[in-house]
Structures are given as C-alpha cells and as structure tokens.
Amino acid sequence: MILPFDEITGEARRYTISDSDWFYHGKEDFLLTATANISISKRDSEIVLLKGKLEGQRVVACDRCGEQVRKKIHCEFVYLVSTRKEQAFELRDIECSDEDAITLYLKEPEIDVDEILREQAYLAFPLRNLCSEDCKGICAGCGVVLNNEACCCSLDKSSSAFAVLKKLTNS
C-alpha cells in the first residue's frame, strides 16, 4: 500500500491490512497469517505520525534440523515520517514524544506502508529459529534428522573423527 503524503490529513485514518503480500515469501520462510492495524495522521505540513501493530504467524525453517516451524509475530511501532530534506529534524518540535519512534525521511512524497511492514516483520523475528531448544539437528555423517531417527552411522563409531581422536588420546 502506497499513501501519497498530500492525501494524509490531521484526522487519524485507520487501515487494516489482512493479507501478507508485502512480505517476501520464500519456500521455507513465509507468513501464514498477518494482520496489520495502522493509524496515520499529519502532525504538520511536513510530518506524519504512523502508529501500527502487526500480528501473525510465520513459518520458518529450524536453524539446526531444517524442519518447518511456526513462530508468532507481534510488534507495535511508531514512525515519524518526514518530507524535510535537512537533517535538522528535531523531535522536540513534535508534540507527540514517543521515545521509540522511528524517524523516516522520504525521498518521494509518498509512504510505502509495505516497506514499513517488511522492516517491522524482520525486526520482530528472532535471530535464532529453533523447533525446540534441545533440537538435535542433523547428523553430519549420515544426514538424518536426529529428532526423528536414530543415526545410521552410530553403528560404525570407530571410523568417526571423534573415535579416532579418542584412540589417540588413550594411547
């Protein structure tokens, strides 16, 4: 959704975006559901206040075993969007003093809401994605997912690097 800056007024307008077309959908990373609630109003001729909330469910591959897992997304955000060119943008000038507000300078006089949602979605994602804290991952030897299957190469422990190392230290 693109909102022309000039069409935004002092009266807050609310939008509900219930699709997730704005998200980059990969094969193993996509949004199952996503609902964004946004309120936009002009503070003065050059500054727009954008408040929003994003909730949804994301499907992502576990970092260790690669299995798909569902993760919840929840975030709230406040942006001050400005068309001012100079960097002398003073937050003190603005009545609303949300300390966590993100200031965004526009190159064109239009607000790309999709871009803001993408940024927020990525900020809300954890750095690590695990199906469970004690995920055993994939065996480097035979490639089985150790959560589901017993490792095939455990039958031949003597040939593993670890076993060789053990032999060396014992001798």
x-or-dash pattern for Zn ion, window 38-77, by CB under 5 A?
A: ------------------------x-xx------------
Q: Whose structure tokens read 């260790």? A: 64
141 binds Zn ion (CB under 5 A): yes
Query: What residues numbered 150-169 form the site for Zn ion, per CB under 5 A?
Result: 151, 153
* Closer Cβ to Zn ion, 94 or 142, answer by number: 142
146 binds Zn ion (CB under 5 A): no
Q: Are 41 and 11 in contact (CB under 8 A)?
A: yes
34 binds Zn ion (CB under 5 A): no
Q: Which residues of 131-164 are buried (b: 16+ CB within 10 A; e: fewer)?
A: beeebeebbeeeebbbbeeebeeeeeeeeeeeee
Q: Are 152 and 144 in contact (CB under 8 A)?
A: yes
* Closer Cβ to Zn ion, 102 or 142, answer by number: 142
Question: From the CB of 23, what's the least distance to Zn ion, in Å?
Answer: 23
Strands 68-82 and 102-105, by their bridges, are: parallel
* Closer Cβ to Zn ion, 37 or 141, answer by number: 141
* Closer Cβ to Zn ion, 53 or 66, answer by number: 66
DSSP state of 128: -
